[in-house]
Amino acid sequence: MSKAATESYGGGPLTTYSEDEQMFRASVREFAEGEIRPRVEEMDEHAKMSPDVIKHLFDLGLMGVETPEEYGGAGASFFTAIIGVEELSRVDPSVGVLMDVQNTLVNNALIRWGNTEQKKKYLPRLATDTVGAYALSEAGSGSDAFAMQTRAVERGDHYELTGQKLWITNGNEAGVFIVFANANPEAGYRGITAFVVEKGFEGFAVGKKENKLGIRASSTTEIILDGCKVPKENVLGEAGRGYKVSIETLNEGRIGIGAQMIGLARGALEHALRYTAERTQFKQPINQFQAVQFQLAEMATELEAARLMVYNAARMKDAGLPFVKEAAMAKLYSSRVAEKVASKAIELYGGYGFVKDYPVEKLWRDSKIGAIYEGTSNMQLQTIAKLIIGK
């Protein structure tokens, strides 16, 4: 992209960022361009995250953005983490979601619900060298997450967890998992309890890795719990409060997915701007045709609207304001915009957009998951409707 195009598109009003946030964005972008972009095609083709990329994420402090400094993290804001997810996703949404799950789900769950000993034990590891994962979904409990069948049985000084979890992001790389199981099925969702489970615990195994349409470098696996022994001190929050842990953590996670989607859309738009400036037809660049200009303008406008919605939700979260409705709106709209912008980028590339030699088809494949995970679009609509109607 030309310097003028980069500056004119820019990425939002600079007045919304502090100097530290601007510097952070620049450093993450430099890393993404230098270390991730050369690996994107290979990681997608082989459906495997580069260990070097993961190491760099830790080395740069991107895996513990909100984690307090006393536990080895950066002690920065939620909004800062959102900037990081956006910038990584601009180059590869697979890397963006790895950072997102680590920060907005796993770390946040421990920061908010963990006791002092749990924080001391796990947060330093998660900030320096251990990937985390969040295990809630099951075969029969997707949108109805509280229909889970995984059980936790108290056995003296520990619990035994039995069941199967599906669609676990970071499953192959993770060493620590936030796992949800029902310790009192008769109490319904009030029996659900959150546990901190280590990969090496007896009875724990990572199962099948899914062969996915998009975000292929991000591992998505099943988790098998066969009488998995979890010490009682690894109950996160308290027994029977897992439903609250999951709901409140996922509300924040949806903003993270929104950041992934706007980063993806931004990458697709930048590719489209570059290509339409270089591609000539009828002796002029195709971006000189009004039909193309109008499509680019629509893409940029919808992306900017989505970005402002994501940023607003993140700022509200940092300010301690109610943000559930705004998070749902941001995820709903940003996932739609990402899919639309990536699709339009393919069309602007013409035949080249349909082949893997060019980058936009991958971004379109990656975009589809935005309407599915961490709450489908229909579930976001339901949340929004309840909150605006007041029931």
Domain co-membership, 267 together with 371: yes
Domain co-membership, 201 together with 307: no
Mean pLDDT of the chain: 94
Q: Say whether pLDDT at 264 is over 70.
A: yes
pLDDT at 316: 96
| CA 353 – CA 357 distance, rounded (Å) | 9
Q: Is 48 helix (H, G, I), strand (E, B) or coil?
A: coil
The two beta strands, 174-182 and 131-135, are: parallel
Q: Say whether pLDDT at 15 is over 80.
A: no
| For helices 242-278 and 290-318, angle between their N-to-C axes, nearest 10 degrees | 150
Query: Which residue do the tokens 């964005």 mark?
Result: 25
Of the residues 66, 302, 326, 374, which is catalytic?
A: 374
CATH number for the domain spanning 141: value is 2.40.110.10
CATH number for the domain spanning 258: value is 1.20.140.10
Q: Given pLDDT bands bounded at 50, 70 and 90, which one contains residue 142?
A: confident
How many domains would you assign to the chain? 3
pLDDT at 19: 87
Domain co-membership, 304 together with 364: yes
pLDDT at 146: 75
Domain co-membership, 361 together with 293: yes
Q: Given pLDDT bands bounded at 50, 70 and 90, which one contains residue 16?
A: low
Q: Is residue 327 within 8 Å of residue 252, measured between CB atoms?
A: yes
Nearest alpha-carbon partner for 334 in 386, 256, 251, 249 = 256
Domain co-membership, 343 together with 213: no
- Mean pLDDT value across residues 153-161: 97
Task: Give the domain range for residue 101.
Answer: 3-131
Domain co-membership, 259 together with 202: no
| CA 216 – CA 368 distance, rounded (Å) | 12
Whether 374 sits among the annotated catalytic residues: the reply is: yes
Q: Is 87 helix (H, G, I), strand (E, B) or coil?
A: helix
Q: Is residue 322 within 8 Å of residue 316, measured between CB atoms?
A: yes
pLDDT at 6: 38
For the stretch 185-213, pLDDT in tens is 999 999 999 999 999 999 999 999 999 99
Write down which residue in 131, 151, 167 finishes a domain.
131
Q: Cite the DSSP H helix spans in the chain.
A: 3-9, 19-31, 40-46, 51-59, 78-91, 93-100, 108-113, 116-128, 242-278, 290-318, 324-349, 360-367, 377-389
For the stretch 341-350, pLDDT in tens is 999 999 999 9
Write down which residue in 192, 225, 241 finishes a domain.
241
Q: Is residue 167 within 8 Å of residue 121, measured between CB atoms?
A: no
- Residue type present at position 48: K
Give CA angle at 250 (37, 31), nearest 5°: 20
- Mean pLDDT value across residues 259-276: 98
